[in-house]
A = this chain, B = another copy of it.
Amino acid sequence: MEIPVIRDVLEESNAIARDNRTAFDRHSVFVINMMSSPGAGKTTILQKTIPILKERSISCAVIEGDITSTIDADRLRPLGVPIVQANTEPFGGDCHVGSHLVQAALKYLDLSSIQILFIENIGNLVCPAEFYLGENRKVVVLSLPEGEDKPLKYPLMFRECHLCILSKLDLAPHLDIDLDLLKSNIHKINGGLDIIHISAKTGEGLSEWVDWLVNRILSLG
């Protein structure tokens, strides 16, 4: 009698992620997994970041994760970089981008001509934190209107990430938010997390974020 073996989903997922990473490393592609709550500003930040990277002659591509629709991909289309829309709906409306979806997306990308690949994950501060996709760095975008307590309430996300972008800085004067408390909460969860303040509206902080990216590409050698 044959005994069926059910592999842990996470084990399978990680194996695919390691394959993705092997492909990225072979071509020295630096991969960022961008995560946040819905509407924290990931797409807007990419809209503002990619032209700056292009000016610095750094080639980019985007895997755009969404449950359904191509709304975000359509917003990025005018930037003229390769974009693959990865919808989780045909796979059951998954609440996060899976490594198998990244693997599928790679068929449509020429890795040899890409220096930075952004994976814009689905807007969700919970589940995406649990899955490794093969990325070099995980970045969480937290918009100021979400409040100071989010790192304490969604600790895994902040524990897993390498950089926290605090977005919508331009709204700070209109919010009852204590930025020092927010930063202290972030570092209570993850003392090593880099923090960059950004207003995509005014442009504040964008060059610091681009420098953070470029320094990490250079370190790939």
- Residues of chain A having any CB pair with chain B under 8 Å: 37-39, 66-69, 71-72, 93, 95, 122-127, 143, 145-147, 149-150, 152-156, 168, 170-171, 174-176, 201
7 contacts between A and B (CB under 8 A): A39-B150, A67-B153, A71-B153, A122-B126, A124-B125, A124-B126, A170-B174
Do A146 and B69 touch (CB < 8 A)?
no
Residue of B at shortest CB range from A168?
Answer: B145
CB contact under 8 A between A145 and B124, given known A71-B153, A95-B95, A155-B68: no
List the number of copies, as a whole number: 2
Within the complex, which residue of B37, B123, B156 is in contact with A39, where a contact is CB–CB below 8 Å? B37
> Could you tell me the dominant secondary structure of chain A's interface residues?
loop
Give CA–CA (A156, B94) in the complex, Å.
12
Do B145 and A171 touch (CB < 8 A)?
yes
Residue of B at shortest CB range from A201?
Answer: B176
